[in-house]
Structure 1
């Protein structure tokens, strides 16, 4: 074998060894990271997925790569109620869903879904960040198997229906999908709907097949899950403010060092700020996108809807007692602090 051939062979061996060492190094780093599962029901193009990606990247950065968060969108691992159950069991590590979804495990959280509590994002953010009543409820959740890290945004709930919805009179005899939350169900029934409880992952097909006549969710969710395609009448009642607490399994939380707990909290708060800004700034363009796709968007006279749901507060008092007026009083103070334009 010539000298040139020997040199070429040596160079090839060196390159192969270098590639192997790099691959081994990469494998070792990946193998050293603890993988954590994050489940949610938003589609990959939605704001929850975008915020989850921000959260995952920041956790990786702030823990020096010791933790890798793998995100499972669109209900791949579980619908919202099942995801919370999996948090309790330690089957997943993180989820993000509406406050009312957690109320199955702490019924008082139903009160955050009382109709027309707040009117603006600023009011909603202040209530969720500073309400003494709500923070005390959040403090109870670790005993249920999970804890709140921060509150992400979804926005205000409105309707998508197969028929026009100009007033509560149009709801008579119509079926409305609801998630398993008493306050939402009472509100829908007060407006005049018959309610049908089902997971959000089943809703598109249920509307398409005529099982229900519509659903109610924030604009971001309506657009992400494409409900406007099968229920093209979007009615902006904004009847409930519906943000998304990010939660971590308590079993997972207790495995973190104090430094890693602080890192995860920091990542959660920064992802929340990203989520809030993204959703608030996206509403108008999302509505325009859905209108361009054939949806009809209307802003009805809200007075008749407010009047229709007035009995819901008394119904809530019959179940939750003085807590109802405590929450209503705090919300009233928030509305004074941040008056709507």
Structure 2
């Protein structure tokens, strides 16, 4: 027997041994893009999701995570879902409004007061669930809602009330409701991707930005805009979405597995963010940030015209429905 023949027989034997030992087939790679830094809560929840997808599909799929905008900023990532460039992303609800404008209404100011109220709104609002059901025809679907928290300000000058905003430029993402809210408070608004914001504040292009505490901490905005003003003006969770083309390629069994992983990652995300805020604020204060809680009344009064503007653009019926859902939740869960 030649050495070549012996080698082939050995390789064949190894292959059969692997087969009978139950070796798993090659994994299919699924690409997950997000804009949070590697140490942030989105990355932590994405890692849970990836681990659970692998576990529940018995290793048939590997979710490969690309953090910090490596593949795309938030709007581009959503476009990539539609085009097949990526399989998953997680972003603020308003980011998806480019493709379904009614989702802008979720960014109306002061809809809910607590995390628990926000969870109830996103999980059980009849209006919002109906809007989510329209997204597959846009090329992606919502699997679950992860947490980011309530949006507040970081600025390079103190912000005690709307009067201070009149001399400031505020970065906003491309969302009408957020822009209207900022303008009613008194800011000049500048639209830009979140990946450009740190440098823009550092260079003086804008005076600040508004995001949940978790994002402020993860992206280190407090280093260049050290005045953190906790207005909590918009509840801003993060729907996890999957490309509809990818979803339709899954077997029913794998759809159930991916959905289960998404739900468990959402529960992890909600618990992590809610219970991390106080610690994150203390860490930012220790690093030199100034944290303040302003009188909220003047901010609420300043943004009141936003609701009427929303009715003009999106229709009174839709606005009244989500306001009604939110009011009922606040009444049923006061203070949560």
TM-score by structure 2 length? 0.93
1:5: which partner in 2?
none
Structure 1 residue 306 corresponds to structure 2 residue 300: yes
Q: Kindly tell me: are residues 30 and 104 of structure 1, through their superposed partners in 2, closer, same or farther at Cα, counting changes over 3 Å?
A: farther
1:101 aligned counterpart, secondary structure:
helix
Q: 2:32 aligns with which of 34, 38, 44?
A: 38
Structure 1 residue 329 corresponds to structure 2 residue 324: yes
CA–CA separation in structure 1 for the residues paired with 2:310 and 2:93: 17
2:151: which partner in 1?
157
1:130: which partner in 2?
124
Q: Kindly tell me: are residues 205 and 29 of structure 1, through their superposed partners in 2, closer, same or farther at Cα, counting changes over 3 Å?
A: farther
Structure 1 residue 246 corresponds to structure 2 residue 240: yes
Q: 1:66 aligns with which of 54, 57, 60?
A: 60
Q: How does 1:248-263 map to 2 (within 5 A)?
A: 248-263=242-257
CA-CA distance at 1:173 after TM superposition: 2.3
Residues 182-211 of structure 1, C-alpha deviations (whole Å, 9 max, x = no match) = 000000000000000000000000000000
Structure 1 residue 176 corresponds to structure 2 residue 170: yes
CA–CA separation in structure 1 for the residues paired with 2:99 and 2:66: 23
Q: Kindly tell me: are residues 263 and 314 of structure 1, through their superposed partners in 2, closer, same or farther at Cα, counting changes over 3 Å?
A: same
CA–CA separation in structure 2 for the residues paired with 1:142 and 1:25: 40
Structure 1 residue 217 corresponds to structure 2 residue 211: yes
Q: Kindly tell me: are residues 302 and 60 of structure 1, through their superposed partners in 2, closer, same or farther at Cα, counting changes over 3 Å?
A: same
Which residues of structure 2 form unaligned runs of 5+? 1-9
1:232: which partner in 2?
226
CA–CA separation in structure 2 for the residues paired with 1:194 and 1:156: 21
Q: How does 1:81-100 map to 2 (within 5 A)?
A: 81-100=75-94
1:75: which partner in 2?
69
CA-CA distance at 1:337 after TM superposition: 1.1
CA–CA separation in structure 2 for the residues paired with 1:77 and 1:39: 6
CA-CA distance at 1:340 after TM superposition: 1.4
CA–CA separation in structure 1 for the residues paired with 2:231 and 2:103: 22
CA–CA separation in structure 1 for the residues paired with 2:285 and 2:24: 45
2:266: which partner in 1?
272
2:6: which partner in 1?
none
CA–CA separation in structure 1 for the residues paired with 2:291 and 2:263: 33
Q: Kindly tell me: are residues 93 and 145 of structure 1, through their superposed partners in 2, closer, same or farther at Cα, counting changes over 3 Å?
A: same
Indicate if the aligned counterparts of 2:25 and 2:60 stay in contact, CA closer than 8 A: no
1:151 aligned counterpart, secondary structure:
strand
TM-score by structure 1 length? 0.92
CA–CA separation in structure 2 for the residues paired with 1:291 and 1:54: 29
1:290: which partner in 2?
284
Q: How does 1:107-122 map to 2 (within 5 A)?
A: 107-122=101-116
Q: How does 1:309-320 map to 2 (within 5 A)?
A: 309-320=303-314
CA-CA distance at 1:140 after TM superposition: 0.1
CA-CA distance at 1:30 after TM superposition: 7.8
CA–CA separation in structure 2 for the residues paired with 1:294 and 1:25: 57
Q: 2:161 aligns with which of 164, 167, 186?
A: 167
Larger Rg belongs to: 1
Structure 1 runs (4+) greater than 6 angstroms displaced: 28-31
CA-CA distance at 1:32 after TM superposition: 1.1
2:230 aligned counterpart, secondary structure:
strand
Indicate if the aligned counterparts of 2:202 and 2:224 stay in contact, CA closer than 8 A: yes
Q: How does 1:5-20 map to 2 (within 5 A)?
A: none
Structure 1 residue 55 corresponds to structure 2 residue 49: yes
Indicate if the aligned counterparts of 2:228 and 2:291 stay in contact, CA closer than 8 A: yes
